[in-house]
Amino acid sequence: KNVTMVTHFVLLGLTESRELQLALFALFSVAYLLILVGNGLIMVTVASDRHLHIPMYFFLGNLSFIDICHASVTAPKMLTDLLSGEKTISFGGCVAQLFFLHLCACAEIFLLTIMAYDRYMAICHPLQYPTLMSLPACTWLVGALWSGATVHSLVQTGLTVRLPYCGPNVIDSYFCDVPPVIKLACTDTYLTGVLIVSNSGLISLTCFLALLGSYLVILVSLRSRSTEGRRKALSTCASHLAVVALFFGPCIFIYTRPATSFSLDKVVSVFYTVVTPVLNPAIYTLRNQEMKGAMKKLRERQVFCRGK
């Protein structure tokens, strides 16, 4: 019968060495703090500076919000496990983590694709850009991406939960994800694995190819631009492409192949759950004069308010 009997799972984590666990706790604690502070600062800066109330920064603020949510799905549990050494998670907690992990990951994939479309419209169709990328249109796009991500996550979670889990309960990872969880099912999971890979892999690969196509068109169109215009466009696109490579690379590696495990999976997972959210604020601000200027003005306002 299709009845689940496992009440909890054991997460093997990143390492069994107690000394290395404490070292990783310190490292990932700093990383998680940087995620919260860096992405939170971008959200506050975009919201407080009216000069940044344009589609590109509207989407950047949403990306920072998704990065905070994405990291918060796995990082707090991972830090607790590293510190305590108790690496268990209830069946319900595992399902919830799996659902929100895919919700945030899929939302980020869709948002990065929308951001590429925004740059394509701004550079290749500047006259139609204000009409096509108005605030209502951008708001609608953000609502659509969350709706699509919710549907994707419900499909992934539903396919996973319907399987019976009656025996092994050890997950060779530091969080619950579809590939390592379905390996524990007490039934043949080949068809379920194919459906899951088709769903996640198709989304990752299709959006990645759409991104590459949009930037290829942008690069071709820049040949007729002035040197200054070409430099500014390339600077903006380079930041976006760096984020795309850091996020899509691990997603494609994990979700476009059958549910088999490699020793490299844990390291790759760290990249899209921790490393990318840490680097996004730096990538988008260090090369962006407008963001740096807005942050400087925000800091000056805070100093002025404290001095009054």
Domain 8-307 part of CATH 1.20.1070.10:
yes
pTM confidence score: 0.89
**pLDDT of res. 94:** 93
The CA distance from 258 to 191, in Å, is 10
Q: Where are the domains of the chain?
A: 8-307
Judge whether 163 and 89 are in contact, CB under 8 Å: no
The CA distance from 58 to 297, in Å, is 18
**pLDDT of res. 304:** 56
Judge whether 295 and 42 are in contact, CB under 8 Å: no
Q: What are phi and psi of 244, to 5 degrees?
A: -60, -45
**pLDDT of res. 287:** 67
**pLDDT of res. 242:** 79
Judge whether 277 and 71 are in contact, CB under 8 Å: yes
Tally the C-alpha atoms within 13 A of residue 246's C-alpha that lie toward its C-beta. 20
Q: What is the dihedral of CA 282, 274, 98, 153, to 10 degrees?
A: 20
**Tens-of-pLDDT digits for all 308 residues of the chain?**
555 578 889 998 888 888 899 999 999 999 999 999 999 999 998 888 888 888 989 999 999 999 999 999 999 999 999 988 778 999 999 999 999 999 999 999 999 999 989 988 888 888 888 888 998 999 999 999 999 999 999 999 998 998 888 878 898 889 998 888 888 888 888 888 888 888 888 888 899 898 888 888 888 887 776 676 677 677 767 777 878 888 888 888 888 776 666 667 888 888 888 888 998 888 877 667 777 777 777 777 766 566 55
- Per-residue tokens: 287: 């090369």
